[in-house]
Amino acid sequence: MSRLWITGYRSYELGIFKKNDPKKTVIDKVIKDNLSQEIMDGVDWIITGGQLGIEQWSIEVANQLKTEYPDEFKTSVMLPFQKFGEQWNNDNKMSLQKCIQNSDFSASVSNEPYKSPIQLKAYQKFMLTHTDKALLIYDLDHEGKTKYDYNQIKQYSDHNDYDLRMIDFDDLQEAATEYENSRKSFEE
């Protein structure tokens, strides 16, 4: 069994507030290309959290890929604690619920509502011990909340057989350029 943890920037860290933002279109393509490759390489589970941004977009894209790769992989949304996202606005709550409903499995690592950062550490430990590798859409030169996951993954991979692959802003810019060029050639 091969299980992939995918995480990265929150939508607000990328300045993306609408589903039709061109930046999101490029990121969705990058996610799709990378998840397709992971599935072809044998990933059985695509596992992420419920954070707005890369995590939710990854579940959305993975669920779309099920039409291309039926019965080849499953998706999971793991939440760090009970009532995760309860303080969000209604649109964001609905987006999270849709991701959970469309995944093959979902649960909370902690059975209690948020009480302390210890629950977030327990969540990271759970994700590391229940996955075999991680894909981060994150740039070390542009910090965001994903730095905490990155630091734990890096520390864990130094002592365990755990693969970490990162997609940084240079990779995203290259994908945006390719996308724009392919769009222009299609219009001609």
pTM, to two decimals: 0.94
pLDDT tens-digit readout, 56-109: 999 999 999 999 999 999 999 999 999 999 999 999 999 999 999 999 999 999
Strand, coil or helix: 171: helix
Q: Measured between alpha carbons, how far is 101 from 106 in angstroms, rounded to an integer?
A: 8
pLDDT band at residue 188, thresholds of 50, 70 and 90? low
Q: Name which of 64, 88, 76 is nearest 3 in CA terms.
A: 76
Which pLDDT score is estimated for 183? Answer: 74
H-run or E-run covering 133: strand 133-137
- The single residue listed with the structure tokens 């994903």 is 146
- Percentage above 70 pLDDT, the chain: 98
